[in-house]
Structure 1
Amino acid sequence: MVNKNPLAGETVIFTSTKKSDEPYELVKQLGGTPVSYPLIRTEERISAKDHERLVQAQSYDWLIFTSQSAVAAFKQKLQRFGLNSSNFQLKVAAVGDKTAHALEQIGFSVDFIPDVFSADVFVQQFNPQGESLRALFIKGNLAGTLISTELSLTVDEWTVYETLPEITSADRIVELVKDEASVSILFASPSAVTVFTERVAPEIGWTDFTIGAIGHITERALREVGAPVHAMPETYTLPELVRTLAESKGRN
């Protein structure tokens, strides 16, 4: 018999910034209670050179985005200086459907998305043809170096946002895990894992709740600090992670 409410009685904590209602509504449909306690927050990095960098960006062959946060910060800069997608006659690459959708929402066509939504797969699959091609990687301050160092074309970087810890959420997670009978905690980035390791794990450890992860890089970050990973989807999105979590709960 199929369990239509595999998350019944489960409190599901999302540790990433809420960008869509979809995964939260899905938790409710599956019988659970979703809670948003982001362990990180992002802020646009503003510089006196922003307008100059926007003008320079128009001269590249490719723009590369690996997160919705980078798109959001880039959008803020465009709006501040009265620019839009029509000012950019170039190609755009995105890691992930959600990032691609955010770009399309501000008028950009996305020319390349890797099969797996991860930077290491991106550098394996992204191989544009042409001589002396130049790309601009629009990124956050904690982005890794793979894209900048492992591609065949010349890649410059522009850091447009900062990732900062959200301490109040850490305190709330500690309280919730202590109070609730059954909790699942979902991680979408190594940055969230770092904050949890420093601020939450010393209080409650890693064993009294179910852990879900998006992506093998986040999974690796969890395992490196000694945490188990109970659910990880093949497609790296939050709705798929919720479905994978529900499947694992439904089997128990």
Structure 2
Amino acid sequence: MRDRGPLFGETVLFTGTPKSPEVFNLVKQYGGTPISLPLIQVAEIEEADDERKMNECSHFDWLIFTSQSAVEAFRAKMLRFGFSADLIHSKIAAVGTKTAAALEKIGFNVSFIPTVFSADTFVKQFQPETNRQLNVLFLRGNLAGSLIKEELPFHVVEWTVYKTEKQLSSIGKILNILDEATSVNILFASPSAVHIFAEAIAASRGWEGFTICAIGHVTEQALIEAGAPRVDVKPETYTLIDLVNALARRKEGL
């Protein structure tokens, strides 16, 4: 590592919703400047039958969470209706260590995490030993794909607990950074952010002049499909911490 860090002079721009200061502190430790300009915002979906659905959770053998946003929305419902983790007897599956940590923080024990933190790997590896048909509840966002419901060989019920929307206020600020900063690295943590960036920014100024970083292969594919000529950085483990570490290694090797 160079004396001033491999990210010295680098602007590291996060386009997803911030979850923890840990990843921003890591950028600073590497000498870089972290900036959070989310292109998406998430919010819990509240519906009239939420309490009934909360009461039915324990009727399922497994609850599946694929994001921290789903955990946060579920936690909000637990608090609203006076539920605690010990009242829900289902087993818990989580896609990703951060999602698992968020679940454990509110009292759940996570019984399954796939080796790669993506839905396509999850449906291949999630094979509970059983001689009966399982009932599974998938806690999802409004933009989640159909893979889990269609590919799992169980009875899967979906509950959409949060919604993802555009955060248009970040677009002009990102354009200013791209015009003014010397060396910019843009980190994409979801296809949703990629789509907004492609429509609102790349459509007018292209994909050149910055380092393109993707948290995993699904986001990488979304970037390529949106017109990005390449993805410069993708970590082996799909977390933002690993993405920043991978970016630092790349810059150190240049």
Once residues 7 and 132 of structure 1 are traced to their aligned partners in structure 2, the CA distance between those partners, rounded to angstroms, is 51
Any conservation in 2 of the 1:141–1:159 contact (CA below 8 Å)? yes
The equivalent residue for 2:196 is: 195
Matched, 1:209 2:177: no
Matched, 1:27 2:27: yes
The equivalent residue for 1:70 is: 70
Q: How does 1:163-178 map to 2 (within 5 A)?
A: 163-178=164-179
- One-letter amino acid of the counterpart of residue 133, structure 1: L
- One-letter amino acid of the counterpart of residue 229, structure 1: V
Once residues 232 and 160 of structure 2 are traced to their aligned partners in structure 1, the CA distance between those partners, rounded to angstroms, is 33
The equivalent residue for 2:128 is: 128
Any conservation in 1 of the 2:57–2:90 contact (CA below 8 Å)? no
Count of paired positions: 251
Q: Find the residue that maps to 2:82 and give its secondary structure.
A: coil
The equivalent residue for 2:232 is: 230
Cα displacement (A) at 1:68: 0.2
The equivalent residue for 1:115 is: 115
Once residues 44 and 198 of structure 1 are traced to their aligned partners in structure 2, the CA distance between those partners, rounded to angstroms, is 25
The equivalent residue for 1:246 is: 248
* Structure 1 residue ranges (4+ consecutive) displaced by more than 3 angstroms after TM superposition: none
Once residues 244 and 132 of structure 1 are traced to their aligned partners in structure 2, the CA distance between those partners, rounded to angstroms, is 42
Any conservation in 1 of the 2:63–2:136 contact (CA below 8 Å)? yes
Identical aligned residues as a percent: 54
Cα displacement (A) at 1:56: 1.4
Q: Find the residue that maps to 2:123 and give its secondary structure.
A: helix
Q: Unpaired runs of 5+ in structure 2? A: none
Q: Give the TM-score, by structure 1 length.
A: 0.98
Q: Find the residue that maps to 1:239 and give its secondary structure.
A: helix
Cα displacement (A) at 1:142: 0.4
Q: Give the TM-score, by structure 2 length.
A: 0.97
Q: CA RMSD in A?
A: 0.8
Cα displacement (A) at 1:200: 1.3
The equivalent residue for 1:3 is: 2
Once residues 246 and 66 of structure 2 are traced to their aligned partners in structure 1, the CA distance between those partners, rounded to angstroms, is 23
Q: How does 1:13-24 map to 2 (within 5 A)?
A: 13-24=13-24
